[in-house]
Amino acid sequence: MNYFVKVAALSIGILSAAPVIASTPTDQLGTCLVDTLNGKERKNLAKWIFFAIGSHPEMKIFMNATSKNIQESDQYVGKLVTKILTVDCPEELYAANKSDPLAIQKAFELVGQVAMQELMNNQKTIKAITNYSIYADQEKINAILSK
């Protein structure tokens, strides 16, 4: 496996990391949130993340989403977050918040990873992630790695 495929695999691995054991209340909240999401919900969360990234001034020129698209996505995610926190995982939310003031943030970092994994497992996305390798000097990189 060449270096560039390894980097792409590592990138996908990082974005798809999930805890093996939910040992803390924060981990349990993250696991509950992830377990309640279906594929469509994860894709919609990934779209919402994409829209958020696209709002950055340096990225905005690449965004085609309309204000209506963004508002609909915000509304969808608002309702989804309310549902998973208050209907699907209220006990985990309460316990995690009591044990760690950053629990919700940490749990949603995991949700974001899983949402992005939904997109990162697509063959076209994997190809796009490795396309840069055509332009990188693999000999120079391998020379350093083989020392």
**86 neighbors 10 (Cβ within 8 angstroms):** no
Confidence of residue 2 (pLDDT cuts 50, 70, 90): low
Per domain, the residue ranges of the chain are 1-16+122-147, 22-120
Q: What is the pTM of this model?
A: 0.74
pLDDT for 26-82, tens place per residue? 999 999 999 999 989 999 999 999 999 999 999 999 999 999 999 999 999 999 999
| pLDDT score recorded for residue 112 | 87
Higher pLDDT, 127 or 16: 127
Tell me if 93 sits within 8 A of 104, measured CB to CB. yes
d(Cα 88, Cα 106) in Å, to the nearest integer?
A: 18
CB 126 within 8 A of CB 120: yes
Query: Closest Cα to residue 45, out of 55, 61, 29, 34?
Result: 34
